[in-house]
Amino acid sequence: MLDHSNSIGVTKGIVLEDGSSMLSLLQFTDDTLIFLQNNEIFLDFLINILICFEMISGLKINFNKSSLIGINFSDLSVRRMAEKFGCGIGKLPCKYLGLPLSHKSLSNNIWLPVVDNIKKRINSWQGGLIFQVFKAVLDFGQEF
C-alpha cells in the first residue's frame, strides 16, 4: 500500500545520500518504521492508508506504543502531527531492534556495545559448533 502511494505521489519517502534510492519503510516482525518527507499532507494520506490497512487486514495499529520523530520539522508541527496520530514524540538518536538509529553519522563509541554483543554471540556459537564437531568425531570413532 505504501509503495503504491509513493508511486502515485500521495506520499513520498526520504531520498538517500546516493540520490537515486528512496526509503519509505523498514519492517521486522511487528516493528515498523515509516519514513516520509517533510510534508503534513503526506502525513494525512499516511493516516488514511493506515486506517485502510486496519480495515482490510483486521489488525489494529497500537498508536499508543508508537512514536513520531520529526527531522527538519518545527516542534509545534511535530506535536500537531503526533496528536493526529495519537502517538508519542520521539527523538534521534534512538534504538531500533537494538541498533542505534540517527540522521547523523554516529561516533564509534556508540557502536561498541553492538560490536561487543556480536562478539559474545559469535564466541558462544563457535564454542557450540566446536563441541558438536568434536562430539561427531568421537561418535564416528566409536563406530569403528
pTM listed for this prediction: 0.61
Give the closest residue to 42 by CA, choosing from 19, 60, 17, 24. 24
Q: Enumerate residues 6+ apart whose C-beta is below 8 A from 40.
A: 77, 80, 81
C-alpha cell at 47: 493516516
Write out pLDDT tens, residues 73-122.
Answer: 888 988 988 998 889 998 887 777 777 777 777 677 777 777 777 777 76
Give the closest residue to 101 by CA, choosing from 5, 10, 21, 28. 28
Q: What is the 3-state secondary structure (H, E, C) of 11-37?
A: CCCEECCCCCCEECEEEECCEEEECCC
Write out pLDDT tens, residues 16-56.
Answer: 777 777 788 788 777 888 888 878 888 888 888 989 999 99
